[in-house]
Chains A and B, each alone.
Chain A
Amino acid sequence: MDNRKTILICDDEPALRELIRASLDEGYLFAEASDGLTALELAREVEPDIVVLDLMLPRLGGLEVLARLRADEHLRDVPVLVITAWNETREDVIAAGAAEFTSKPFDPDALKASIERLLEAA
């Protein structure tokens, strides 16, 4: 039985997906999506331990993805860390159901710490 945690990364920019992966230690399983619809499909498929979500996504916006995750009984409690380049306020994003909020550009060490803290709390 593989007890590694699964992290779902949703960002349309491949370089940023890679940066998020590189920021974390080894020992995680990664699933990646470059648009909102794929992100939802993958989330239902792999049931990740945490979702790292960019808000500006093709096909389905990040806030809509977040809303659908919160509405899904299997995924309701999965923590979501939102990364955005827009000027959304932290309050709005937390109110929409995110566990944590980081704006671009982000510090890899801080991101790593946030993800580890959320995974421990879960």
Chain B
Amino acid sequence: MRRLSLQRRLVAASAVLALVVGGVFVAMILALSDMHDAREQEARSKEATASAFALQSLVLDIERNLRGYVFSGQNAFLPTYERSVRQLPTSLKKFEAVTQGEPRQGDQVKYLTSSIRLYEEDYASLVLQLAKEKSLGAAREAARQEGAFRINDIQKWFRKFHLTEAQLTEDRAQSADAKTTHAIELGVAGLSLSSALILLFGFYLARSIARPVREAAVGATELAQGDLSRRLSQSGPGEVGELTTAFNRMAESLQRAHEELAAQNKQLRESERLKSDLVNTVSHELRTPLSGVLGFTKLLLTREFDSESRRHYLGIVDAQARRLSDLINDFLDVRKIEEGRFERAQELVDVGVLLRDEATLYSLQSQHHELALDVPETPLPVLGSPDRLRQVIGNLFSNAIKYSPQGGRVEVSAGMQGDAVRVEVHDDGIGIPAEQQSRIFTKFFRADAAASGIPGTGLGLSVSRDIVESHGGHIGFVSTEGEGTTFFLELPGADGAADQLQRNPADRPKERTSQ
């Protein structure tokens, strides 16, 4: 039903309506025609009765004048008699004509007409002749006997005829009344039915077209005013249903596009914010070493110092300039990673050695922190870039120290886990708030670090993750705010490489100095 198009439904409904109205009219015309027939028959009955009375009075005229002449012998009766006899055939024919098609009267009519003809031919004319030419007495005798008999018989049949005809007229009048009533009833019923159907059709149009269309218009207005979650109820036949479906599809795609735009916008704003943070970070990170370089250079240029101080200050300038250079390298790393051109050396590296080297370096940087190493003497071999892996470990150590500003113990453990080398770095520092944990690998994201006065570029973890992943490994963390953080990383171990590392211990110092 739902698949039937609205157009077809409307055509079908109109056809049904037309058929019903047509049928009603045909039935009404038939009923009117019946009624007309019945009225006609009724009129014919009346005509037959009138014709019968006329015939009867003519016959009685003939008899009365015949008797008058026979019994009085006066000729004055003759003209009337003769005129009546002349009129008789016409009257008979007329009577026969109007009673034709009256099967119920057929026999009576036949009997009556033949009786009347016989009365005129076999009796009346004979009696008159007898009276005129021979004996008035014999004629009187015949009139008295046979005439009376015949007239009585004719009168009797006329009465019968009148009775029957009255009955017929009565019946026909009743039938005509009934048919009239029937025609009126049929007309009223047909008109009512047609009106009801037209009303129904109107309701159907309003319900299935006007209402959904208005709803769609209201929905479109609300949609235009910004209510993108507006949907129409899936109703309406055929094309109207298609309209609501199309409307809902359009609203859905609008909403989706809008949400995508909003998400993109949010991302853009976030990225804008990060960039602006970066500008602050870079300016801060660069300004501190730059202050050292510029400050000492100016002092050396404008004041006199002994050679030992001069050398010392130049050393500081050199170290600060290197720090600047390292920072710039960090930024460049990010660029390289972003552009997908990150070089990766395929060297055999002992992660244990890297951990010990970096621990020595970082334990010198902070008097407040103790670095506790739990690293096996046996090699932890991986394939990759020693410089890059050193960068990752250095970053984890530096974070552990920076984010436990009250000082404390940083625990470093490492070992083989299956075929992989696993490293864990644990601190008892400030931890990472749960709501920020999903973002800490995001570039330039520094949690609350900037506000807490903790230095950094916000690049370390992002770069570290890219390095670890480019080595086929992964990096992660577990942290509770206020209790501390454990970072771990797993790198695929280099199969069968442990022996090689042990046989060539001379490689190890070379790695150590390669940064």
Contact = CB atoms under 8 A, between A and B. Distances in A.
Tell me if chain B binds chain A. yes
Interface of A: 12-13, 15-16, 18-19, 22-23, 35-36, 55-62, 85-87, 103-109
B298 A15 contact: no
Contact of A85 (B287, B296, B320, B402): B287
A18 B316 contact: yes
A13 B292 contact: yes
Interface residues of B, number: 29
B453 A23 contact: no
Interface of B: 280, 283-284, 287-296, 298-299, 302, 309, 313, 316, 319-320, 402, 405-406, 451-455
Query: Chain A interface mostly helix, strand, loop or mixed?
Result: loop
Contacts of A105: 287, 290-291, 293-295
B286 to A, nearest CB: 8
Contact of B288 (A62, A85, A109): A85
Contacts of B283: 85, 87
12 contacts: A12-B455, A15-B289, A19-B291, A19-B296, A19-B316, A22-B313, A23-B299, A36-B453, A59-B405, A61-B451, A105-B287, A106-B291
B324 to A, nearest CB: 11
Contacts of B280: 86-87
B314 to A, nearest CB: 12
Majority DSSP secondary structure for residues of B touching A: helix
A56 to B, nearest CB: 5
B453 A109 contact: no
Contacts of A13: 288, 292
B319 A22 contact: no
Given A56-B453, A57-B453, A19 B284 contact: no
Contact of B299 (A57, A60, A61, A108): A108
A118 B289 CA distance: 26
Contact of B298 (A12, A87, A107): A107
A62 B451 CA distance: 11
A85 to B, nearest CB: 4
Contacts of B309: 22
Contacts of A85: 283-284, 287-288, 291
Nearest to A83: B291
